[in-house]
Amino acid sequence: AQSVAQPEDQVNVAEGNPLTVKCTYSVSGNPYLFWYVQYPNRGLQFLLKYITGDNLVKGSYGFEAEFNKSQTSFHLKKPSALVSDSALYFCAVREGYGGATNKLIFGTGTLLAVQP
């Protein structure tokens, strides 16, 4: 069965410093990987996705993520954090086309807190 893990409940970083939010996954086939961000009292907003191709994916608001097949990871990164990046971040995975299951499975979320 597919699964996704976000090992950190919270990540604290100072404004201007690089940030990393970790995500590891497990699927039986090729993964489709997504990152979403949720601001307080708002819905989830799509940041970026990996389907195939270049392992480094660039997304909205300066975020990027690197797909690492050998480590089954898809960590979210940003070179310089902003206070406005403070939010709840979700990693999600599903099996690629033709996979045994059609569901998008979400991690438990990581709260990013950027201190000024």
Partner 1 sequence: DAGVIQSPRHEVTEMGQEVTLRCKPISGHDYLFWYRQTMMRGLELLIYFNNNVPIDDSGMPEDRFSAKMPNASFSTLKIQPSEPRDSAVYFCASALTETDTQYFGPGTRLTVL
65, 74 contact by CB (below 8 A) = yes
Q: Is 16 in the site for partner 1 (CB under 8 A)?
A: no
Near partner 1 by CB under 8 A: residue from 24, 94, 112, 114: 94
Q: Is 45 in the site for partner 1 (CB under 8 A)?
A: yes
Q: Is 58 in the site for partner 1 (CB under 8 A)?
A: no
108, 6 contact by CB (below 8 A) = yes
* Amino acid sitting at position 22: K
115, 16 contact by CB (below 8 A) = no
Piece in contact with partner 1 (CB under 8 A), picked from 21-29, 62-70, 72-80, 95-103: 95-103
